Chain A
Amino acid sequence: MVILFAWGLYLALWASPPDYQQGDTVRIMYVHVPAAWMAMAIYAAMAVAAVIGFVWRHPLAELFVQAAAPIGAVFTAVCLVTGSFWGRPMWGAWWVWDARLTSVLILFFLYVGYIELSRSFDDPAKGLRAGAILVMAGAINLPIIKFSVEWWNTLHQPASILRMGGPLVDPSMLHPLLVMAAAYLCLFVTLVTMRLETALLQRRARQRRLARG
């Protein structure tokens, strides 16, 4: 993982060429785009796990949702902050009510809502279960939110903002992007495994304490 990060960052910060339009600010993209991918992928994984936990009552699935949520929230925050850094020189504003930005912001609130909900019960199992239902409700709502925000955006702002890159991405830029994405994925897997292990150990410790007292 460390090697992937080092390699990815090297490629992103030094080895890749500056964009002819965006200059060196394009390097923010190597941090930003994989974070956005992870933000969405983690929510999707949480939704799948929530369904598994809800339907088959698999205990590990609900724990996974809880373990993944804060990591997903951080990736979403990274995506928003780096996007803002990129937007300042590119769009001349820290924040633009672009459909994509707005949707990601709402995604961030969904993550925070889950974290808040899953911790607000005296019985941890109940919190996990309520959280799983919320994640599923959010998964149903996300496409609707995305669609409505796009509709709202076209209603208010005729497409005047600068869109990024275009469909053509040069291999010299794609390569570091993919390496960074792989590094993010490894980081996520490592962190989630650690958090799951901790959660299981905590549960066992609680059981021991209750059995003794």
Chain B
Amino acid sequence: MIPALLAIVRREVRLSLREGWQAATALLFFILVVMLLAFGIGPDPVLLRRVAPGALWTAALLSCLLSLDRIFAADHYDGMLDRLLASPVPAEGTALAKMLAHWLTTGLPLTVFSPAAGLLMNVPAAVMPVMVASLAIGTLLLTLVGGAMAALMAGSRRGGLTIALLTLPLYVPVLIFGAGALDKALAGKEAGHAVLFLAALLCAALPLAPLGAAAALRE
């Protein structure tokens, strides 16, 4: 089963790189949103640093949200989803593999290049490790929760916007703990708790999200 799962991940990554340069698009979008927020707020470095946690996390969240409907909708429309569900790979495995591939092409590049966005927001270098760690965990969480919602929407008449409507309320805890970690680190306080909360949420979502997605995909 593991080779089959890896094959799914590999195919998804290959397709998203070929079909829309998804990794680059998500990353550019992330940087652009941060830039726009900075333009909206003004160049005051103290103020920018003050709003950096919220700005960076909102940008990450939106950039993840944009490509959620690609996870299942395309395969649903061309019939591949049926082929996957009729294969020996359990639906939970298929869902998890597709979500991981989504993270590899959105969350991961975003995390890797987040220091650049941090610099735009005047985030000091000392805080970067907390930012990268919380984004790595947090974006995976965003993908898992959003992926489950995308699975619910696969085959419905509506697309991306409805996924956003379903997903955003569930993103509140990730946003709070993610931005909270960065906030505390910027204030020079211990940020470990918030990062650990994110990790705990990830531990819960890692089995639950594929289970929910599989329940939605079957039928």
| Contact across chains for B162 and A149 when beta carbons are under 8 A apart | no
Cβ contact within 8 Å between A151 and B176: yes
Contacts known (A144-B173, A145-B169); A117 close to B152, Cβ less than 8 A: yes
Question: Is residue B190 within 8 Å, beta carbon to beta carbon, of the partner chain?
Answer: no
The residue of chain B having its C-beta at the shortest distance from the C-beta of A108 within the complex is B169
Of the candidate stretches A64-72, A131-139, A157-165, the one touching chain B is A131-139
A116–B148 touching, CB < 8 Å: no
- Which residues of chain B come closer than 8 Å to A129, judged between CB atoms? 216, 219
Whether B107 sits at the interface, judged by CB under 8 Å, is: no
What is the distance, in angstroms, from B154's C-beta to the closest C-beta of chain A?
Answer: 9
**B158 lies within 8 A of A134 (CB):** no
Q: Is the C-beta of A204 less than 8 angstroms from some C-beta in chain B?
A: no
Task: Tell whether A41 is near chain B: CB-to-CB under 8 Å.
Answer: no
Give the total of A residues in contact with B, Cβ under 8 Å.
30
**B156 and A121: CB pair below 8 A?**
yes
* A106–B156 CB distance below 8 A: no
> Complex formed: what's the CA distance from A155 to B71 in Å?
35
Residues of B close to A122: CB separation below 8 A: 157
Which one of B166, B208, B219 lies within 8 Å of A134 (CB-CB)?
B166
Q: A133, B212: Cβ atoms under 8 Å?
A: yes
Given contacts A122-B157, A151-B180, contact A106 B219 (CB under 8 A): no
Complex CA–CA separation, A126 to B153 (angstroms): 10
**Separation in Å of the A40 CB from the closest CB of chain B?**
15
Q: For the complex, what is the distance from the CA of A130 to the CA of B152, rounded to whole Å?
A: 6
Chain B 154-189 near chain A by CB (<8 Å), digits 1 or 0: 011110001001101110110011001001000000
In the bound complex, what is the Cα–Cα distance between A155 and B180 (angstroms)?
8
**B66 lies within 8 A of chain A by Cβ:** no
C-alpha gap A126/B155 in the complex (Å)? 9
Quote the shortest CB–CB distance from B194 to chain A (angstroms). Answer: 9
Question: Which of chain A's residues have a CB closer than 8 A to the CB of B48?
Answer: none
Cα(A120)–Cα(B156), bound, Å: 5
- Once bound together, how far apart are the Cα atoms of A112 and B161, in whole Å? 13
CA distance A133 to B177 in the complex (A): 25
A56 to chain B, nearest CB (A): 14
Residue among A109, A121, A144, A149 having the largest count of chain B Cβ atoms under 10 Å:
A144
Q: Are A117 and B153 in contact, with the CB atoms below 8 A?
A: yes
Please name 5 further chain A to chain B contacts, defined as beta carbons within 8 Å, in addition to the given A117-B166, A136-B212, sorted by A numbering: A121-B157, A130-B152, A133-B215, A145-B170, A151-B180
Interface residues of A (CB under 8 A from B): 54, 106, 109-110, 112-113, 116-117, 120-122, 126-127, 129-130, 133-134, 136-138, 140-141, 144-145, 147-149, 151-152, 155
Can you list 22 residue pairs at the A/B interface with Cβ under 8 Å? Answer: A106-B169, A109-B168, A110-B169, A113-B165, A116-B162, A117-B152, A117-B162, A120-B156, A120-B162, A121-B156, A122-B157, A130-B156, A130-B216, A133-B152, A138-B169, A141-B170, A144-B173, A145-B169, A145-B172, A148-B177, A151-B177, A155-B183
